[in-house]
Amino acid sequence: MKRSPHTRRSQEIAREKLAAILQTKVSDPALQGVVVTGCDVSIDRSFVRAYVACPAGEEEAVAEAFGRAKGHIRRLLGRALGWRVTPELDLRIDPSTEEAERITEALKHVPPTMAEAKDEDGYPLEDPPGDASEGASA
């Protein structure tokens, strides 16, 4: 979507309002641990796609709970935003948190070859310059 200061501000407002609604107005326990990570708002403000992070393994439960509460959340969001149109609401599970956890775990297990000295192309250096073995063979 087009990124102008106006759309960025609309997206931030929608994210803040939706997060407040999920935190205070929705009583479904499956939606209690949900964090709104971002929103995309259409140019005419008729559509909001919200990205949420949830605890690992609860993606299906969160999607089902959102499906049950979608109308209620949409109505509350429309009132909170005060826009001319109450936007359609689409919820997506944000994969970036799982990806960050996967990368963090991978970095904990760095292969031993990463500690070797390398040249500018990334190849291991065979003998460091000024090694004693060079002087002995001459």
Taking CB atoms within 8 Å and a gap of at least 24, the contacts of 93-96 are 93/51, 93/52, 93/53, 93/54, 93/59, 93/62, 93/63, 94/37, 94/38, 94/51, 94/52, 94/53, 96/37, 96/53
For residue 47, the cross-strand partners are 88
Number of domains in the chain: 1
pLDDT digits (tens, 9 = 90+) for 115-138: 778 888 878 787 655 555 555 554
Pairing of strands 35-41, 47-53: antiparallel
Evaluate whether residue 69 is within a structural domain: yes
pLDDT digits (tens, 9 = 90+) for 33-51: 788 888 888 888 889 998 9
| CATH number of the CATH domain containing 30 | 3.30.300.20
Evaluate whether residue 78 is within a structural domain: yes
Evaluate whether residue 74 is within a structural domain: yes
Note the pTM of the prediction, 2 decimals.
0.66
Domain extent at residue 59: 5-97
